[in-house]
Structure formats: C-alpha cells, structure tokens
Amino acid sequence: MDSFIASISNREWASLIWLGAFIVWVAYYKPTRNSLGQLLKTFFQPVLIVPLLIAAVYATGEIHLLDRIGWWSIDNLKTTVLWLITFAFVTMFEVAMAKSRKAGLGKITRDIVTVTGVLIFITELYSFSLPVELIALPLVTIIYLMAEMAKLKPEHVAVAKLFGYLSALIGFSYFGFSVWKSVEAGREAATWAVALEFLNPVMLSVGFLPFLYIWRTYVAYNETFTTISVFGIDKSLVSYARWLAIIHIRSDLDLLERWRKSIRWSRPANKTELKNTLTALLALKEREAAPLVVQPRDGWSPYLAIQFMAGMSVETGYYHQTLEDEWFAQSAMRELGNGFGLNNNLAYYVNGTEHAVTSVKIKLNINDPATAEAAENLFTAQTMHLLEQAVSFNAVKRLSPQIASLKPFEADIPFGAVSLRRDEFTGIKGGYDRVFEIKRGQS
C-alpha cells in the first residue's frame, strides 16, 4: 500500500483533491444533492454494474498472466487501476454507443498506441509541486473548456485560435518540464520499471480487445432482439429469430442490422416468413459479392452506384427493398455549418429496382439562407463528381456551365437524362432545396 500511495504524483493528488472538493460541494448544495443521489442510484443498477464486474474479472486474468511472466508487480497497481477506469470501462461504453460498431472497435484498436499517447506518458512522468498543480489544474481546465466552447460559433474563431495556442503552449510547457527532469535524472528515468509503466497499459489494452469484441456482439444482439419485439415481430418469434441469427449470422453485425431493418419492414407473421427474410438477405449478400453487369440502357449496377460518391467521402447504407418493387439507398444527411439553429444539409440518394439503379441524385436543403454560398459550392462540386462517375467526363465538360450557374435545366444523356431543379420551402423564410438527378433505364 505504501508503494501504491508513493506512486501517486502531485498532479494526480491535485486531481483527487479537486474532485473530492467538487463531490463535497455537489453533496452539500441542496439543488444538486438529489441529482447526485439519483445519479448514483442509476449507476449502481445491475445492468451497468454486472458488465463492469465481468470486465474487471477479465482484466484480473490479464494481470495474472503478466505477473506470471514477470511483467507486472504491485508497483504497477496505480497505472493498472487508471487503465481499468479510463480505457477498459470507457471503451465498453464507446463500443456500446457507437453508431457503427465495427468502426467504433476499429478506432479503439488504432488508438491503443499513438504518438499522442507516447507524449502524454512522457508528460506524466514528472509533475510540479503540489501547490503549483493545485493552482494550475483549474486554470488549465478553464482555458481548455473556453477553447472548446469558442469553436462552437464561427464568429468566435479568433478567440478559439487564441485559446488553442494557449492550450498548446501549456501542453508544451508540461512536456518540456518532464523531458528536462528526465534528462536530469539520466539513467533513473531509463529503466525497465519505467518501460513497464508505459508497456503495461498497451499490453492490457491489446489483451482486452477480445473481450470488447464479445461485448460488442452481445450489445448488438441485445439491442436487435429488444427492438424487433417492439416494432417488428410477435414476441413469440423472438427466441426463434435469435436462434437463426446465432446459427446463420453469428458475429456479422452489419448483416444483423440489415436483418433487423428487413424484419421491421416486412413484419413476418410466422416462423416460415421470418426464415424467408433471412434467406433472401443471405442471397442478396452473395449477389453483392459478385454483382451482375448492368447495361447502360437499363441503368447502373446498385453496387457501383452506391460507390459513385466515395471519392467525395460520401458513404451510403446498403441497397435494400422499401416497397414491392422499389429499392433504395442513401447517405447520412451531412450538416453544413455549426450553428445552433437549423443548418443546411446535403445527401446522396440511389433508387431503382432489385437488379438495376435507375436514378441517382444529390439533394441540398437550404435551411439557413445566410450561409447558402458555401453549401452551394459543395453541392456544385458533388454534382459534377456524380456526373463524371455516373456518365462520363465529357458530360461534365458539356454541362458544367449549366451546373455552375445553378439555374434549373434538363439535358439528355445516352439512355437517360440529367436535371437540376429548385423548389421553395413554405415553412422556412427564404429556404429552398436543389436537386440534381441523373436518370437511366426508365421507360
């Protein structure tokens, strides 16, 4: 215990003191006292505590293995506790809340060892005296928060830059002090014990990835079969649906999400219909892996059309059925601007039949006319990119003057037509939308 207490730096003591003072204030101040009690009551619910306890047991197994090979000792306890709270527990919530579970876990994997992590480790090797740390911590926190708040409004960009530079200067000061103390300490800083302080969290994080993978799968299954019983199918079919998913979908969470949407749309009434929805989806996935060639007179291959805007960093969802013979895919709505009101936004849409896309379009909604120029410039760039990908570069050269003018027009292309239109909004003063559409294969 003595070595554990001795390992706590002045910066960490300062953080603990300020945190303790904040908790005492919240508990003492009557308006926040009840909220604190409710927060603690919510946190200690079994649905939260049980997964954290299981994660702690898993981490204990990792620590035991490192201890057996001589790469962990009680001197590493503080670093390990911090790792458990700031990485293991936090990443569990990040994985659970991530919109894209694959992307969420991928980001965590990439962030295990970064240049930033190395710089932070070096910075934390040495700290100032406790009085200095007690004074510096709230000041640095206020400067950082003001810098982040200033970023929210375009008119505060100069203030954001000023506080950004100030934050960087403070960071370099901390880093420089730690480097200076490390050089001064010489060989005392270049020891195996210091190396283990850095390597242990890295090794624990890598070892924790399998647990996160299993946790991610559990959360996805739990969410899926909770929601389909509410919006999709009769509760009596949920167990059968879960069994089908475990047997046929397993850990393919993208496929699981697509099946959930398919169930919600088709609303199967019995086991046969439920199984047919999965069979059709599995067949569709096989077709996506080896798509059929679509002739220009019929439209475009769905699996090429959803990639037309990839060069502009626009990603669509999967091409899927919406009505009897109508299929559809779209990108997420891209918000343009960072104001607190209704922003302008932009999206890419793909429509057609099961085997061929017959319409691709980009739609711009101008909800804030004061910032329309930047949004329309992006809209123009995206429409020309789409025209090049869907038709040809020659079509871009021929139609670019009309597109750049943003005036409504229609023009013929081989086996189809191109159009640009503008529609006024009725509910928003000065608001309107622009739609650039390319059609093919429609009789």
Q: How many Å apart are CA 244 and CA 277, to the nearest integer?
A: 11
Q: pLDDT tens digits for 238-249? A: 999 999 999 999
Global pTM exceeds 0.75: no
Q: pLDDT tens digits for 292-301? A: 889 999 999 9
Give the bridge partners for 327, in sequence order.
321, 352
DSSP state of 293: P
Q: pLDDT tens digits for 136-181? A: 989 988 888 888 787 777 667 788 788 888 888 888 888 888 878 7
Which of 84-93, 122-131, 178-187, 354-363 has the lowest average pLDDT? 178-187
Task: Give the model's confidence band at 99: pLDDT under 50 very low, under 70 low, under 90 confident, else very high.
Answer: low
- Enumerate residues 6+ apart whose C-beta is below 8 A from 215: 51, 55, 92, 95, 96
Spatial CA neighbour of 238 closest among 265, 273, 274: 274
Q: How many Å apart are CA 189 and CA 185, to the nearest integer?
A: 6
Q: pLDDT tens digits for 83-95? A: 998 899 988 988 8
